[in-house]
Structure 1
Amino acid sequence: MSTASAYLTVRGFDIDVIRKDIKHLHVGVYPPAGRVRVAAPLGFDDEHIRLAVIQRLGWIRRQRKELQGAARQSLREMVTGESHYVWGLRKRLNVVERPGRAHVEVDGDRLTLYIAPNASVEQRRTYLGRWYRDQLRSALTDLISTWEQRLEVTVPKWTIRKMKTKWGSCNRETHDLWFNLELAKKHPDCLEYIVVHELTHYFDRNHGAQFAALMDRNLPDWRSRRDELNGAPLAEENWTA
């Protein structure tokens, strides 16, 4: 079966479009961030697909809301034995209560949080969230520097923040970048995909054929990285960092 991939932006939603040898158009919303994908017949043009998505916007928003609700329902209690992810690997949390400065250590499949005996659950979440932020900041510093050189661009400013529906974002006017804190829990290949994706918007504002061609040239396996990221476990915590 022949296929062709492209991107569209519809009412603020980034849409993955796959044209196939099929008879009917199908719209799907996928975890964890609510990625919208359209499978359309080969003969459908962009305007036809855009209208079909607009007609389903209510349903798309409801599906995204359910995904976000699912992530909130599994808020971690920050106790020994819980599962947490670090760079795509599942770790078992070990909480050690002791006086002194809080810190985190990773040893094999164990993630140890050293914290004061009187620290609340919220304080534990906050500290671990700060640790994730530090991990992500360090990785992003190296990745952004590498890809600035490869693409011959300069990133004026980048920021890590909690984002409900996007892994990353690019301000098309200022070229400032934002990255989702949850990326510290995903595989490093996924983080690199997001960096390249956002930097590619320096050359193309949209998600059309030219954007896909640039991604193909600079990161040939970007589609498999994207699928790995979007197929990763839903967020298990709402960090307060």
Structure 2
Amino acid sequence: MITETRHLTISGIEVEVVRKDIKNLHLGVYPPLGRVRVAAPLVLGDEAVRLAVIDKLGWIKRQRARFVQQPRQSQREMVSGESHWFLGRRYRLRVCEQAGQPRVAVRDLAALELLVRPGSDAAQREAILVRWYREQLKALVPPLLDQWQSALGVQVADWGIKRMKTRWGSCNPATRRVWFNLELAKKPVQCLEYIVAHELTHLLERHHDARFTALLDRLMPQWPHYRDLLNSLPLAHEEWRD
């Protein structure tokens, strides 16, 4: 696909304009700082893009304000008493130094136990926790994929988990490969299911247009609630660092 990227300043806002071989203009505002991006047809001129952005200026400003107000965690020091999230619940970290294989365990409804070797530093402790988050997400995703592949009548070729700064998930319809943000392990499972459904719907409709919304509305009527919940929860410090 032919693409052309440039930047315009419109009403004091820097806008990334990506021209593609598409039929309709699509405007998005992305975390963490409210980056504005327009995907526009190749034949659409700068003035038409400018007018489209100005028409949505109020909505853009509201979206950017929401991102600014969203709570963010401070840098995690990986010490006992610190708050960490798992499946939408906040836990107090309990660091225990001992010989043996490092691991993580949920001990009760309030404590996340991190077993580490004596003398481990913050980076080593974080790596253990991140590995555990990845393992949990790898166990949670397959049954949701099965459910939504059946509901939508689609099939992914491959899927994976990685850290992403500006997306909860991504889908390449051409290769049928789907990625999920590692941070979803910290969010309620309903939010994870929403992202699974969202990305698989892209296998039927590439763009966030009326057909895409209609598909989600029919199969997951409560999806706007899960989207808003996902975007209201604290963001990880490391995920949004520039």
Task: Report Cα offsets for 1:120-158 as digits up to 9, x if no partner.
Answer: 211100010000001111100111111112222111100
Sort the Cα spacing of 1:14 and 1:105 in 2 relative to 1 into closer, same or farther, 3 A: farther
Sort the Cα spacing of 1:135 and 1:234 in 2 relative to 1 into closer, same or farther, 3 A: same
Structure 1 counterpart of 2:116: 115
Sort the Cα spacing of 1:35 and 1:122 in 2 relative to 1 into closer, same or farther, 3 A: same
Sort the Cα spacing of 1:163 and 1:176 in 2 relative to 1 into closer, same or farther, 3 A: same
Counterparts of 1:56-71 in structure 2, within 5 Å, are none
Gapped regions of structure 1 (runs ≥ 5): 1-8, 17-28, 38-46
Whether the aligned pair in 1 keeps the contact of 2:83 and 2:91 (CA below 8 Å) is: yes
Task: Give the paired residue count.
Answer: 202
Counterparts of 1:32-181 in structure 2, within 5 Å, are 34=34, 51-52=52-53, 74-106=74-106, 107-181=108-182
Q: TM-score, normalised by structure 1?
A: 0.73
Moved over 4 A (4+): 12-16, 29-37, 47-50, 53-56
Whether the aligned pair in 2 keeps the contact of 1:186 and 1:229 (CA below 8 Å) is: yes
Structure 1 counterpart of 2:204: 203
Sort the Cα spacing of 1:208 and 1:50 in 2 relative to 1 into closer, same or farther, 3 A: farther
Q: Which of 1 and 2 has higher RCO (CA within 8 Å, sep 6+)?
A: 1
Whether the aligned pair in 1 keeps the contact of 2:30 and 2:166 (CA below 8 Å) is: no
Structure 2 counterpart of 1:22: none
Cα offset, 1:51, TM superposition:
2.7
Question: Which amino acid letter does the alignment assign opposite residue 232 of structure 2?
Answer: G
Cα offset, 1:99, TM superposition:
0.5
Question: Which amino acid letter does the alignment assign opposite residue 86 of structure 2?
Answer: V
SS at match of 1:85: strand
Cα offset, 1:33, TM superposition:
8.0
Gapped regions of structure 2 (runs ≥ 5): 1-15, 20-24, 38-47
Q: TM-score, normalised by structure 2?
A: 0.73
Q: What CA distance in whole angstroms lies between the structure 2 residues aligned with 1:201 and 1:14?
A: 15
Structure 2 counterpart of 1:3: none
SS at match of 1:93: strand
Cα offset, 1:15, TM superposition:
4.3
Q: How big is the alpha-carbon RMSD for the aligned residues of Structure 1 and Structure 2? A: 3.4
Aligned residues: percent identity? 48
Whether the aligned pair in 2 keeps the contact of 1:32 and 1:230 (CA below 8 Å) is: no
